[in-house]
Each structure stands twice: as structure tokens, then as C-alpha cells.
Structure 1
Amino acid sequence: MAKFEAKTLLKDKRFWCASFIIAWAAALQGHMMWLKRQESFQQKFGSLNQNSNDNEQKLPS
């Protein structure tokens, strides 16, 4: 059985490439989840500009 050596693993470019791809995919997934949450919040409560325009229209002049 081959002996596991951390030095050879850290020097391997495939290891770093795979690690980068995994980290990038995780970050992309987190970002997409954050965007979905922001969009859901905006649909539920509206944006700040919409709320201020609605309040201005409701006030009697």
C-alpha cells in the first residue's frame, strides 16, 4: 500500500485545481441562495423606492 505523503499532495497541481473548483462552486451556490433570499424579501415587502412612492401617493396634498 502506498504511503500517504502530504508534501507530494500539496505540490500536486491537480489537488489545487480541484480545491479551487470546489471552493468556487460553493461560493457560487451561496451567492445564488443569497440572491434568491433578497429577491424573495423584495417581492414580499417591495423596494425602498416603491414604499416611499406609495407613502407619498397616499398622503393628502
Structure 2
Amino acid sequence: MGTRNFDVKKLLNDRKFWFASFLIAWAAALQGHMMWLQRQDTFKQKFGTLDDQNTDNQQDSNEGL
């Protein structure tokens, strides 16, 4: 097997390297954000929101009148 010389300076000056790094970081951040949104939706489905609880309380108090 031949050895390849790895030139770090050349790699750091390459625009393709920085574009690919940015694209990977952006995709990872987007995936993390989508997972966070999914967790928020699951929590809302399981426990509801304060707005839902307030409307339920208002309906209960209006029925008592």
C-alpha cells in the first residue's frame, strides 16, 4: 500500500471542504430542530396546553350559570 501525503493547509483552503462542513452542520441542526418540534407536539397531545385548559375552565364556569 502506498502512503498518501495529507496536506492540511490545502484542505483548509479548499472551499468545497468548508461548504460540505457547513452543509453537514446545517443538516444536523435541522434534524435536531425537527426532533425538538416533534417532542413539543407529542407533549401537547399528551398533556394539552394552557389555552386548552383555560377554555375548558371557562366552559365549565359558563355551564354553571
- If the length of structure 2 is used for normalisation, what is the TM-score? 0.82
Determine which structure has more spread, i.e. the larger CA radius of gyration. 2
Matched AA of 1:10: L
Render the CA deviation track for 1:5-61: whole Å, top value 9, x for unaligned. 211110000100100110010001000000000000011111110111112323445
Give the % identical residues: 57
Which position in structure 1 is the counterpart of 2:58? 56
What is the correspondence of 1:6-45 to structure 2 with a 5 Å cutoff?
A: 6-45=8-47
What are structure 2's unaligned runs of at least 5 residues? none
1:4 match: secondary structure? coil
- If the length of structure 1 is used for normalisation, what is the TM-score? 0.87
What are structure 1's unaligned runs of at least 5 residues? none
Task: Select 2:49's aligned residue among 21, 34, 47.
Answer: 47
What is the alpha-carbon root mean square deviation over aligned residues?
1.2
1:26 match: secondary structure? helix
Count of residues in correspondence between the two structures: 61
